[in-house]
Structure 1
Amino acid sequence: MRTLLALMLCCAAVPAAAQTPLHPFPQHVNYAAGSLRVSHRTQAQLDQDVRDAYARWKTAYLRTAGTDGGGNPLYRVLCNTDGNGNTVSEGQGYGLVIVALMAGHDPDAAAIAAGLWRYADLHPSGIDNRLMSWNISAAGQPQEGNDSAFDGDNDLALGLLIAAAQWPGPTPVDFRANALQVLAGQAGSVTGPASKLPLLGDWVEPDGATYDQYSVRPSDFMPAHALNFAAAAGGAPIWSQSIVAMRAAVEHLQTTYAPATGLVPDFVVRESAGSAQVKPAPPDFLEGPNDGDYAYNAGRVPLRLATHALLHGDADAARQARRIASWSQAASGGVATNIRPGYRLDGTPLATNYFTSFFAAPIGVAAMTAPTQQSWLNAVYDSVRTRQEGYYEDSVALLSLLVMSGTYWDPVAIDRLFADGMQRIAP
């Protein structure tokens, strides 16, 4: 859709060898020195846990969606399984990352990855068509505004880069070229020109009256993604600047507004006029009464921070992830099923009547950065490894299981392993 060349590539015949992934699952990678691994299950058991979780996820949420104009299959991820369900860009991003990592185990991964991207490409934002419209109905129509959401496109871009690392030769989709187009959209339309923070979407004006370049969502802070984007984009400075800005924002939020817990809120706003600092958003700022709490957006933050620390040895991200992991172990009494579904920033639970893998699984990843939390890591892993709840919970949990099993990688990490001559951990 975006270029005639891309359409021609989609329709081209592909040699069978081009569908063989270079890094088939499971890739057992070495994480940063001093990090923990799940210790009470063998590597073979951990790998099977991921395969089982992937099978559950794929059966429940991955669907064919017809074909494009060239007869190529389309795939989409359901975010709502009531009836036929709709699809959000966030789900397409999760799906592309997951499927590309599961290549080798899933013989259809190349076709599915291409189909997930084609579906995203056929539903562009009406503001910046390099980005995906954030919410698409089962009938293929934009819902709640034809605009983008930062997190969906960010994961789509990373998924495309992982797919390009898996299948760098001639393929039905030029994964790398399309990743670069998404990155150009992210840099041009959804990164604050002064703040360098990720805007909520391409609908936000950087200096808008209510929503601006400082009214952002900390769960959109994905420093490992940005490191990969910098490498893919030839060292474009905007991505390293974004990493610095995200790191500073998390540090300020943790030390100023949650010194006892390390928790960060779902949304933040500018601290004061002219300030470059952020503070928790007020209730009902965008989504609901818990917009300034650690709720169903911010629950992903430990996963994002810890992934950067584990894959790339970032000491600041490790320290920030450890704050949340250490507090959660103490607050839960070391019982993983005592992790509550959201908290005030002071640690007061938002609700106490249920447990969900959405909040627990990312904390397990964060525990990997804390040398004293082996028993906590093992307990959290056990609490989530076989659960099935819903699209959002299961997608985040599967990404977390990939990290906790030692089988998650990104292109920068895998390239470093080869460049340094490091050996993967044996199966």
Structure 2
Amino acid sequence: MMLQKVCLFLLCLFVTASVGAVGPASPASAVGELKPFPQQVSYPGILKPSQVTQAAMNQAVTAYYDYWKATYLKSNLTSLPGGYYVKGDITGDPDGFTALGSSEGQGYGMIITVLMAGYDPNAKAIYDGLFKTARAYKSSGNPNLMGWVVADSKAAQGHFGSATDGDLDIAYSLILAHNQWGSGGSVNYLQEAKKMITDGIKASYVTSGYRLNLGDWDGKDALNTRPSDWMLSHLRAFYEVTGDETWIRVIDNLYDVYQQFTSTYSPNTGLISDFVVGDPPKPAPEWYLDEFKETNQYAYNASRVPLRIVMDYAFYGDPRAKALADKMAGWIKGKTGGSPANIKNGYKLDGTAFGDYATAVFVSPFISAGTANPANQAWVNAGWDWMKNKKEDYFSDSYNLLNMLFLTGNWWKPGGSPVPEAPNLALNKTTVSSTVEGVGFESGKAVDGNQMTRWASREGNDPEWIYVDLGSVQQITGVKLRWEVAYAKRYKIEISSDSGSPEHWQEVYSTSSGDGGLDEIPLAPQAARYVRMYGIERGTPYGYSLYEFEVTGQ
């Protein structure tokens, strides 16, 4: 699949989601924002522009948002009434469609909108419209992800493969939305986030070596990766809402890859190439994946990296992020004589410029990187003055606004862990299944707590079943089924309290519209020793397959 120029179109409800002192917020709108703009957080160890007041910075953000919204936020899809999208050009092959936007733009728009809620009284309606589009234009490879192209055609919905960056931003925005509005409305933001994180992003993008690949069309053993996708603070938020240690392993590995890369190719600049390949990591060759010539340099993909790095220091205090941000900021200050207007739109890894003008998608992230060190106050001040009125195109303007939100403290850290969930009574308990596909797919794989292993039945048979023995009669309150691609369209949940082997099954839940992914099934508290998933009709030509079969209880 052809990729476009700038990255494949690139907690508790009441827990305080910010750190440091927070100034007065504007009145919440009728939908009841919990984190209304302006939040104006002061992050520990992070500078803000010091030559202007907080109120003036907030006003600059709202003025820029009004411009951005009027210019790029659209709801004119005849093929999806009520669906919003962020209008932006793409490069790459739209496969006969007229491309209007991308998953990259959708992710930017969803983060911006949720952070501007409270200032914009229509933010929630707009956000839900953006989410509607993200879900309608699902990826052809994994329906829990978004296809990378938005076009005004029903045929475009489900036609395109995905792009990693857009999905990471979309999933992260859902966590922000849960913090902003709660998840008790028409969209359960937290549940949607968890499903997308685990059944979409983890299932398709996390490689066996704990890198992030390029899309759901890419391999799980891939070594190629795009550093602009390394949204480290996003990944920490994923960990906080799922409790899945996979995300910590990915974070640690990406830091290792970055440090190995820079020690060899950019020890004096801290720069990284648009694409990284191999082990040990090295720059991708020129014209990688037919994107553009400079895929082996610091170009329009990698230009976004400094913001992604410094946010992990601002929000979570990781010293590795500070070290990288300080190196990049120190180098670019020296390169430009302390003048952000002298930044160019492209650098070789050794710091030699090949670009010829300053554009916000290069300038603003370098300003954000400078906030991690008090020696950079004049740099941050000059950068703010340069960027606050800079208006160019969809890509630069959207990323400029994200940096403005960070620099003013109006991109707040999402809340921590969700409310503690009921224990999983099925974990590592005895299981029995009707059939097994083969070695490595035994029934016990569904209760081992490892979301990379799975039980699979023989292909092509109905009905099939799997049950877990809780060991004794327990008070159960729900079931969670995390399906692999081979899911049940029609199935029921049954329980038994027999001693010995179960003989008398009682139906407690059934559905005929299963669609795979994560099924969270609440049950009225009741006694059971055995819990069974009884598959009646397959949703695919294959068999039935579960990554995890959980039983929650008291």
TM-score using structure 1 length: 0.86
> How many angstroms apart in 2 are the aligned matches of 1:22 and 1:403?
19
Do 1:267 and 1:292's aligned partners in 2 also have CA atoms closer than 8 Å? Answer: yes
Q: What count of residue pairs does the alignment treat as equivalent?
A: 384
Q: Secondary structure at the match of 1:29?
A: coil
Deviations 1:76-115 (A, max 9, x none): 1111399x86110011001000000000000000101111
1:262 alignment partner in structure 2? 270
Q: Which residue of 1 aligns with 2:232?
A: 223
Partner of 1:13: none
The answer as to 2:418 corresponding to 1:406 is no
- Paired letter, 2:40: H
Equivalent position SS for 1:74: coil
Q: 2:168 aligns with which of 149, 154, 157?
A: 154
Q: Which residue of structure 1 aligns with residue 52 of structure 2?
A: 41
Conserved? CA contact 1:280–1:293, under 8 Å = yes
> Counterparts in 2 of 1:11-30, with a 5 A limit?
19-30=31-42
Q: Percent identity?
A: 37
Rounded Cα–Cα distance in structure 1 between residues aligned with 2:87 and 2:332: 31
2:85 to 44, 59, 76: 76
User: Looking at CA atoms only, which structure, 1 or 2, has the larger radius of gyration?
Assistant: 2
- Structure 2 residue aligned with 1:327: 331
In the alignment, which residue of structure 2 is the partner of 1:243? Answer: 251
Give the equivalent residue in structure 1 for 2:389. 386
Residue 118 of structure 1 corresponds to 132
Report the counterpart of residue 86 of structure 1 in structure 2.
Answer: 100
1:377–1:154 distance in 2 versus 1, CA, 3 Å: same
Residue type of the alignment partner of 1:78: K
Deviations 1:39-93 (Å, cap 9, x if unpaired)?
Answer: 0010000001110111111011100145888x7x2111111399x8611001100
Aligned: 1:171 with 2:161:
no
**CA–CA separation in structure 2 for the residues paired with 1:68 and 1:106:** 26
Deviation, 1:180, is 1.2
When residues 279 and 145 of structure 1 are mapped into structure 2, their CA distance, relative to the original with a 3 A threshold, is farther
Give 2:359's aligned amino acid: T
The Cα shift of 1:18 comes to 7.8
- Residue 363 (structure 1) aligned to one of 361, 366, 372: 366
Q: Distance in 2 between matches of 1:196 and 1:283?
A: 25
Alpha-carbon spacing, 1:111–1:144, altered in 2? closer, same or farther (3 Å): closer
SS of the residue 2:277 aligns to? strand
Unaligned residue ranges in structure 1 (runs of 5+) = 1-15, 416-427
SS in 1 for 2:288: coil
More strand by share: 2
Q: Distance in 2 between matches of 1:317 and 1:167?
A: 30
Name the structure 2 match of 1:10.
Answer: none
Please give the alpha-carbon distance, in whole angstroms, between the structure 1 residues aligned to 2:49 and 2:387.
13
Q: TM-score, normalised by structure 2?
A: 0.66
- CA distance in 1 between counterparts of 2:109 and 2:31 reads 18
Contact 2:88 2:101 in 1 (8 A): yes
Structure 1 stretches (4+) deviating beyond 4 angstroms? 66-69
Read off the aligned partner of 1:313 and give its amino acid letter: G
CA distance in 2, matches of 1:342, 1:256: 20
Which residue, 108, 114, 130 being the options, matches 2:122?
108
What do residues 299-319 of structure 1 show as CA deviations (whole Å, max 9, x unaligned)? 000000011111111111111
Which residue of the partner structure matches residue 136 of structure 1? 150
1:309 aligns with 2:313: yes
Tell me if structure 1 keeps the 8 A contact 2:275–2:284.
yes
Larger proportion of helix: 1
1:61 and 1:199 mapped to 2: Cα distance? Answer: 29
- Taking the aligned partners of 1:256 and 1:58, their CA distance within structure 2 comes to 42
Q: Equivalents in 2 of 1:312, 1:30: separation in Å?
A: 13
Alignment RMSD, CA only?
Answer: 2.3
Q: How many Å separate the matches in 1 of 2:76 and 2:173?
A: 19
In structure 2, relative to structure 1, the CA distance for the partners of 1:68 and 1:100 (3 Å cut) is farther
